[in-house]
A and B are shown apart, each in its own frame.
Chain A
Amino acid sequence: DAGVIQSPRHEVTEMGQEVTLRCKPISGHDYLFWYRQTMMRGLELLIYFNNNVPIDDSGMPEDRFSAKMPNASFSTLKIQPSEPRDSAVYFCASSRTGRYNEQFFGPGTRLTVL
């Protein structure tokens, strides 16, 4: 298996632009998580899905952030409009029910908002 795939790996954009991050979970995994990692705040859970349905989005910082999972093999995290404080590494992770919640992380997307 290829593992969790994220794209792009790096994104540089200007303030006010829309940013879309993409994730393909491991086949057969029914949970998908989006995290954000910064030096100041560490690793924060933004939202997670179970069977494509959002379960907990309490970590989404504000309305500028939205996430979708149209099918079991694809999810997006969108920021619109982006701001410099959104600069961070965004990770996607997936897991499978019954595996005691072991999460498999993707390589991350490093986002820089100028």
Chain B
Amino acid sequence: SQQGEEDPQALSIQEGENATMNCSYKTSINNLQWYRQNSGRGLVHLILIRSNEREKHSGRLRVTLDTSKKSSSLLITASRAADTASYFCATTTSGTYKYIFGTGTRLKVLA
């Protein structure tokens, strides 16, 4: 079963707008990562947040983590058409390198 569940499943916005997607998970985690997948390609790592962190920034990306709610959000600010892709969260528990990926959010940014 999926550890992470993203919502929404699909999101369509205009270029320049912000995009927010959420990830919920079921068990305690060591860290949580977000990946992007362009159509027909492999996944690309975007950002990692550790279980003892609450917020992290990288360029136009902002990730938050609420371990009490077992949830994370990814915010992409000032979106561009090139941000069109699927976004996945992935979690791992302490002592293992076994990652479990969520179901993904398909983002479409309209020019």
Interface string of A55-80 (1 = CB under 8 A from B): 11000000000000000000000000
Contact-residue bracket for chain B = 20 to 34
CB-CB under 8 A from A35, the residues of chain B are 101
Task: Say which residue of B41, B42, B100, B103 sits within 8 Å of A45 (CB atoms).
Answer: B100
Minimum CB–CB distance from B2 to chain A (whole Å) comes to: 6
Once A43-B88, A101-B31 are accepted as A-B contacts, the answer to whether A31 and B103 lie under 8 Å apart by CB is no
CB-CB under 8 A from A105, the residues of chain B are 42-44
Total A-B contacts with CB atoms under 8 angstroms apart: 52
Minimum CB–CB distance from A41 to chain B (whole Å) comes to: 9
CB-CB under 8 A from B104, the residues of chain A are 42-43
Interface string of A12-26 (1 = CB under 8 A from B): 000000000000000
Binding site for B on A (CB under 8 A): 4, 31, 33, 35, 42-43, 45, 48, 50, 55-56, 91, 93, 95, 100-108
